[in-house]
């Protein structure tokens, strides 16, 4: 299939064209630029839900159940599942389909397995663009399952509207250990394998951790400065206490139901509309608790929309993507020019021989080839 055929069939809803488009985007082939150009205007509609958690927590089984539940609710579902690439061979075993037998031949479900291809953030570099294609194709819900994650695989929160952290009972002190990692990024928590001993205790530990963070001034999962937002001032978009500063202004009209959503999940102060992440017990293998989990995800989406955060997230994503692309392209351009002029080899030699320090060498390259 050539680009014109793929684009044409993509618009008509052909799944094979979608699959080929994903391959091109994943491989960064010459066609991918035009693909993204022509599909991008149709993105920004789907509810992107991240599913992350340690290996063996039951993420794939849960995703299978979630997809089936969203189908019952009449939503079309795309699944993106990321598994690790071997650092030795560059190959990968992508086994998430084994657990996803419930919806495999349902035409309202599309699933794609991606290898992490050396990227360490829990997803692959191309995952965002793949999600964009699925979004443009028209799926209502996109479930993104990360590689088994521990403390630092937090990139999913940059991609998903609703990040779901899946944990299991019996982690004991491990919960303490990952407190500063993926526990900070959850909008919704699932304690899976809840038929095992210790589920209630695990729920309680997470609840306590969330309450501690939630009550603090710049705590976990808080969106700061509602007053500032309402006055339209530039403000810090801070969902997790760890985001960078994003300067944006927005005026929010807060609806009664958003207030209700905030109240329902409990907040430290009356009138504070920050989202307190709910904790849901699930037993994915038997489908128990899945309906409740989907309800919480949908409520979170509603909360984002009604408080104007949905639009703010779009701003944030656009800013991050632009920054990423400019950084990559600028760096590559400068390096190419410096290499072509022979400066790179010369300076590398000087730095290796200790006749020049790396900071001065970099400065020289930037002055000469970027003009700063």
Partner 1 sequence: MRKLRVLVAKLGLDAHDRGAKVVARAYRDAGFEVIYTGIYQRPEAVAEAAIQEDVDIVAISSLAGAHLTLIPQLIQLLRDQGADDMLVLAGGVIPDEDVPDLIKAGVAGVFGPGSDLDEIIRFTRERATQER
Q: Residue 10 CB, nearest distance to partner 1 (Å)?
A: 13
Q: Are 181 and 152 in contact (CB under 8 A)?
A: yes
Question: Exposed (0-12), middle (13-18) or buried (19+): which is 101, by Cβ within 10 Å?
Answer: exposed
Q: Is 97 in the site for partner 1 (CB under 8 A)?
A: yes
User: Which part of the chain contacts partner 1 (CB under 8 A), choosing from 103-111, 148-156, 220-228, 250-258?
Assistant: 103-111
**Helix, strand or coil, per DSSP, at residue 204:** helix
Q: Residue 97 CB, nearest distance to partner 1 (Å)?
A: 5
Considering the complex, state which of residue 20 and residue 300 has its C-beta at the smaller distance from partner 1. 20
Q: Is 115 in the site for partner 1 (CB under 8 A)?
A: yes
Considering the complex, state which of residue 1 and residue 36 has its C-beta at the smaller distance from partner 1. 1
DSSP sequence for 150-169: -SS--THHHH-SEEEEEE-T
Considering the complex, state which of residue 130 and residue 191 has its C-beta at the smaller distance from partner 1. 130
Q: Is 102 in the site for partner 1 (CB under 8 A)?
A: no
Considering the complex, state which of residue 89 and residue 355 has its C-beta at the smaller distance from partner 1. 89
Considering the complex, state which of residue 122 and residue 186 has its C-beta at the smaller distance from partner 1. 122
User: Which part of the chain contacts partner 1 (CB under 8 A), choosing from 91-99, 131-139, 211-219, 236-244?
Assistant: 91-99
Which are the contacts of 103, defined by CB distance < 8 A and separation ≥ 6?
A: 64, 67, 68, 71, 77, 109
Q: Is 91 in the site for partner 1 (CB under 8 A)?
A: yes
Interface positions, 153-212, toward partner 1 (CB under 8 A): none
Q: Measure CA 66 to chain center.
A: 17
Q: Is 338 in the site for partner 1 (CB under 8 A)?
A: no
Structure tokens at 248: 């944006």
Q: Is 95 in the site for partner 1 (CB under 8 A)?
A: yes
Q: Residue 113 CB, nearest distance to partner 1 (Å)?
A: 5
Question: Exposed (0-12), middle (13-18) or buried (19+): which is 185, by Cβ within 10 Å?
Answer: buried
Stated length of the chain: 372
- C-alpha 17/C-alpha 9 separation (Å) is 6
Angle between helices 15-27 and 31-39 (to 10 degrees): 120
User: Which part of the chain contacts partner 1 (CB under 8 A), choosing from 36-44, 52-60, 96-104, 195-203?
Assistant: 96-104
Choose among 307, 262, 301: nearest CA to 160. Answer: 301
**Helix, strand or coil, per DSSP, at residue 253:** coil
User: Which part of the chain contacts partner 1 (CB under 8 A), choosing from 84-92, 159-167, 281-289, 324-332?
Assistant: 84-92
Interface positions, 18-37, toward partner 1 (CB under 8 A): 19-20, 22-23, 27
Q: Are 220 and 213 in contact (CB under 8 A)?
A: yes
Q: Residue 286 CB, nearest distance to partner 1 (Å)?
A: 19
Choose among 252, 247, 246: nearest CA to 232. Answer: 252
Structure tokens at 175: 């919960």
Phi, psi angle pair for 202, to nearest 5°: -65, -45
> In the set 3, 94, 215, 288, which binds partner 1 (CB under 8 A)?
94
Q: Is 285 in the site for partner 1 (CB under 8 A)?
A: no
User: Which part of the chain contacts partner 1 (CB under 8 A), choosing from 44-52, 109-117, 194-202, 302-310?
Assistant: 109-117
Q: Is 89 in the site for partner 1 (CB under 8 A)?
A: yes
Phi, psi angle pair for 92, to nearest 5°: -155, 150
Q: Residue 48 CB, nearest distance to partner 1 (Å)?
A: 19
> Which spans of this chain sit near partner 1 (rule: CB under 8 A)?
15-16, 19-20, 22-23, 27, 85-86, 88-95, 97-98, 101, 104-105, 110-113, 115, 117
């Amino acid at each position: 299939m050539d680009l014109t055929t793929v684009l044409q069939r993509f618009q008509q809803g052909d799944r094979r064209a979608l699959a080929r488009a994903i391959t091109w985007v994943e491989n960064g082939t010459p066609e991918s630029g035009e693909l993204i150009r022509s599909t991008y205007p149709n993105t920004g509609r789907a509810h992107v839900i991240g599913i992350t958690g340690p290996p063996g927590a039951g993420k794939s089984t849960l995703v299978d159940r979630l997809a089936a539940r969203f189908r019952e609710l009449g939503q079309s579902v795309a699944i993106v599942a990321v598994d690790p690439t071997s650092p030795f061979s560059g190959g990968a075993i992508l086994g998430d389909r084994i657990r996803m037998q419930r919806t495999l031949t349902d035409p309202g479900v599309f699933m794609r397995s991606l290898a992490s291809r050396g990227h360490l953030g829990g997803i692959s570099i191309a995952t965002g663009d793949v999600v964009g294609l699925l979004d443009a194709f028209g799926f209502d819900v996109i479930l993104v399952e990360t590689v088994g994650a521990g403390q630092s695989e937090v990139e999913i929160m940059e991609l998903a509207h609703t990040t779901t952290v899946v944990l299991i009972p019996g982690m004991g002190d491990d919960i303490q250990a990952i407190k500063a990692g993926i526990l900070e990024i959850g909008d919704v928590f699932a304690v899976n394998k809840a038929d095992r001993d210790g589920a209630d205790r695990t729920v309680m530990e997470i609840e306590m951790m969330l309450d501690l963070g939630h009550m603090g001034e710049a705590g976990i999962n808080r969106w700061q400065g509602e007053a500032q937002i309402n006055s339209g001032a530039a403000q810090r978009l801070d969902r997790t206490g760890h985001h960078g500063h994003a300067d944006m202004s927005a005026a929010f009209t807060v609806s009664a139901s958003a207030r209700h959503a905030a109240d329902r999940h409990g907040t430290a102060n009356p009138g504070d509309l920050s989202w307190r992440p709910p904790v849901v017990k699930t037993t994915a293998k038997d489908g128990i608790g899945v309906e409740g989990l989907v309800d919480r995800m949908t409520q979170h989406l509603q909360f984002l929309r009604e408080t104007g955060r949905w639009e703010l997230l779009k701003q944030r994503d656009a800013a991050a993507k632009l920054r990423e692309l400019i950084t990559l392209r600028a760096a590559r351009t400068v390096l190419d020019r410096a290499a072509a002029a022979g400066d790179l080899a010369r300076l590398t030699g000087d730095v290796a021989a200790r006749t020049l320090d790396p900071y001065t060498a970099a400065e020289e390259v930037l002055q000469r080839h970027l003009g700063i």
